[in-house]
Structure 1
Amino acid sequence: MKLNSQQLCDLAVGAAFLGTGGGGDPYVGRLMVQQCLDEGLEVNIIDPSELADDMLVIPTAMMGAPTVLVEKIPSGEEAMFSLQRLERHLGRKAQATMPIEIGGINSTIPLVVGARLGLPIVDGDGMGRAFPFLEMETFGVYGVSGSPMAVSDEYGDCAIIEAVDNRQMEWLSRAVAIRMGGCAYIAEYAMSGADVKRTAIPNTLSLAIRIGEVLRNAKSSHENPIEALLGFLPSTLYRYGRIIFGGKIIDVMRETKAGFSIGRVTIGGLPPFGSTMEIEIQNENLIARVDGKVKAIVPDLICIMNTETAEPITSENLRYGQRVTVLAVSVPEIMRTPEALDVFGPACFGLKEPFISIERIG
């Protein structure tokens, strides 16, 4: 698929939805990709099945606090430099790139890298949403090493990290990203085409495009876009979603700490919901509670949408007074296995509550 400008706009909306508040503002990433298209460069998205088993795929991304992007906008070249530095370290050229996560700006960073280096972008990712830690990848869950990895900033500085495991890789690279100003650009989880087909969540880029298209078409047809989206999900790997709350944001607490955006948003309920909902945030929305009762919990998606425009709202754009609708969406089964929950289940974020799928939460 050769991406066009309309699909890019739809992708930015769908990626913001799947990012569950995190992954960085997709507006910035959309502008970078649009610049590539305006220069006549091609963004070529390929299905994982098109990969030869022995092809080298190097995913690219931004890491750090999404709030930093508001003041430190990337040029688009940083992640490209990381991929090239990792190629030199490996002594081998990449034959494709892909997202590590489908949320926010990290759905678009690989598109810029692919367009500028003439590489195809694999239609899939390793999170199926956004997560704050680099070890929280289905790639790693199912046996792919994240390192060696390259971490670069906008000045051309680069660190190559070779860690004993993926958690240590995250710990070391987070310190580098903090020194680089709170966010950095990375190439990691270099793997074969066979490993991509075995460990990735497939077709999430095209899914994000379809989500944006469903919302756009519903609005142009004067239909309820959120209901249209909920009607679309059963035909995807995400299968199930529902509205779990609606109201007005009455408080936002947010700080950048240890390389993450940490906070909490409180939503005062409007009829028929009543009461209040609290959502805890670490870059992404982790758990939603009403009067202490869990309504949705990581890794299932908790998506905050503007009630009036049906636009997903990223964590750095939450504001007092916004009228919002909160959706919970099930994740693919590859993300709910015991092995996966050991890496990105609730306990990995310090939450005491166990994982209960939204299908089972009343």
Structure 2
Amino acid sequence: MRTTMKLDGADLLDLARGAAFLGTGGGGDPYVGRLMVQQCLDDGLTVEVIDPLDVPDDALVIPTAMMGAPTVLVEKIPSGEEAIASLRALEAHFGRRAFATMPIEIGGINSTIPLVVGARLGLPIVDADGMGRAFPELQMETFGVYGISGSPLCVTNEYGDSALIHGRDNKMMEWLARGAAIRMGGCAYIAEYGMSGADMKRTSIRNTLTLAMRIGRCLREAKDRHENPFDALLRLLPDTPYSYGRIIFKGKIVDMRRETRAGFSVGRARIEGLEGWDGLMEIEIQNENLIARLDGQVRAIVPDLICIMDSETAEPITTEQLRFGQRVTVLSVAVPAIMRSPEALDVFGPKGFGLTEPFTPIESIV
């Protein structure tokens, strides 16, 4: 049995920062999620994170999350009861209790929603997720890539309205759930991909919650030591499954276009070079940063991470927080091998977003 981790307030600060980095701009506001978990701690509840290898093979694991446009979340703060109601509905459907919950993605608020659910229900939270970053659609999970059905899915809003959705495949499940979330105000809270412990271990990206905490701690401690936090982060990455990263641009945001469309936050950021970096970088967004082009040439592309960070503070900036005039540093990071397989690229590689450019690993882009 591996040692379980009981999170405290300092862990939450590091987790929120690291999850915002891994989320590549998406997954919802990490500040909101951190406050929700802190309230659980203030109420005397325990947030217990367990290693995925400690989950029994026959246990039921039910991931929980927010779905919808992150821009809506900023104005429609959840209580946590929405995701709990969705998990309870799936338990009723399966006729058994969940052993644990877990994130579907390691980004923004979706790294913390399961912590709230686990604390409120007395469930452990598995230190793993199904995206290794954030993606905008529910079929874009390694669970589904490697054979797990996301159905049934339950989606619930803040008024207790809910829908139990069965899709003929994971893409149809996403399409139906997206329609429900739109009609629930643009974002809602879900439980999906109920699976066995054995399937969770086979299909998940492991230990991403603790990785997010390591990243957040690395940035914080580097700043405390008055060191360059970007250099410290790039030194950390080779010791993780995200084995390579580099700065691909520095500049000032000179144009930011964003709208909520079909349940997604979509847009484009334009960044003009500063500090010896020439040219104009454009980053396309669908909840997350999908592709970075410098003067029309690809510098990073999904599923590799494209992380926009404040040049002064080294804080990751989510897509809904991007503003004209911000001085930013753009990093790209290689994702784990499980996310670069042909099966994975068929689902959440460039063509999954309608991009015409092929996937090229960040290590190979000159």
Matched AA of 1:14: G
Structure 1 CA distance, aligned partners of 2:324 and 2:187?
26
Paired residues for 1:138-153 under 5 Å: 138-153=142-157
Structure 2 CA distance, aligned partners of 1:123 and 1:30?
17
| SS of alignment partner, residue 217 of structure 2 | helix
Deviation for aligned residue 1:86: 1.1
Structure 2 CA distance, aligned partners of 1:49 and 1:95?
13
| SS of alignment partner, residue 248 of structure 1 | strand
| SS of alignment partner, residue 299 of structure 1 | coil
> Which deviations, in whole Å up to 9, do the C-alpha atoms of 1:86-118 show, x marking residues without a partner?
111111110100000000000000000000000
Structure 2 CA distance, aligned partners of 1:131 and 1:237?
18
Match of 1:116 in 2: 120
Match of 1:73 in 2: 77
Matched, 1:184 2:188: yes
Matched AA of 2:336: P
Matched AA of 1:140: G
Matched AA of 1:123: D
Matched, 1:224 2:228: yes
Match of 1:158 in 2: 162
Deviation for aligned residue 1:41: 0.3
> Which deviations, in whole Å up to 9, do the C-alpha atoms of 1:196-235 show, x marking residues without a partner?
1100000000000000000000000000001100100000
**Structure 1 stretch 269-278 or stretch 329-338: which is displaced more?**
269-278
Matched, 1:361 2:362: no
Matched, 1:53 2:65: no
Structure 2 CA distance, aligned partners of 1:272 and 1:239?
27
Structure 1 CA distance, aligned partners of 2:103 and 2:337?
19
Matched, 1:283 2:290: no
Match of 1:85 in 2: 89
Match of 2:322 in 1: 318
Deviation for aligned residue 1:157: 0.4
Match of 2:216 in 1: 212
| SS of alignment partner, residue 184 of structure 1 | strand
> Which deviations, in whole Å up to 9, do the C-alpha atoms of 1:141-167 show, x marking residues without a partner?
101100001000000001000111000
Deviation for aligned residue 1:2: 0.3
> Which deviations, in whole Å up to 9, do the C-alpha atoms of 1:41-89 show, x marking residues without a partner?
0000000010110000000000000000111011111101110111111
Matched, 1:62 2:102: no
Structure 2 CA distance, aligned partners of 1:273 and 1:77?
47
Matched, 1:17 2:35: no
| SS of alignment partner, residue 273 of structure 1 | coil
Matched AA of 2:107: G
Structure 1 CA distance, aligned partners of 2:106 and 2:262?
23
| SS of alignment partner, residue 309 of structure 2 | strand
Deviation for aligned residue 1:271: 2.8
Match of 1:246 in 2: 250
Structure 2 CA distance, aligned partners of 1:241 and 1:11?
19
Structure 1 CA distance, aligned partners of 2:301 and 2:56?
37
Paired residues for 1:28-39 under 5 Å: 28-39=32-43
Deviation for aligned residue 1:334: 0.2
Q: Find the partner of 1:235 among 223, 232, 239.
A: 239
Deviation for aligned residue 1:31: 0.3
Q: CA RMSD in A?
A: 0.4
Structure 2 CA distance, aligned partners of 1:145 and 1:26?
28
Structure 1 CA distance, aligned partners of 2:64 and 2:207?
17
Q: Find the partner of 2:311 among 307, 312, 315.
A: 307
Structure 1 CA distance, aligned partners of 2:74 and 2:263?
15
| SS of alignment partner, residue 87 of structure 1 | helix
Structure 2 CA distance, aligned partners of 1:271 and 1:352?
31
| SS of alignment partner, residue 130 of structure 1 | coil
Structure 2 CA distance, aligned partners of 1:76 and 1:13?
20
Structure 2 CA distance, aligned partners of 1:275 and 1:158?
48
Matched AA of 2:266: I
Matched AA of 1:21: G
Q: Which runs of 4+ in 1 moved over 6 A?
A: none
Q: Find the partner of 1:168 among 150, 167, 172.
A: 172
- TM-score (ref. length: structure 2): 0.99
Deviation for aligned residue 1:259: 0.1
Structure 1 CA distance, aligned partners of 2:13 and 2:174?
31
Structure 1 CA distance, aligned partners of 2:73 and 2:200?
29
Match of 2:338 in 1: 334
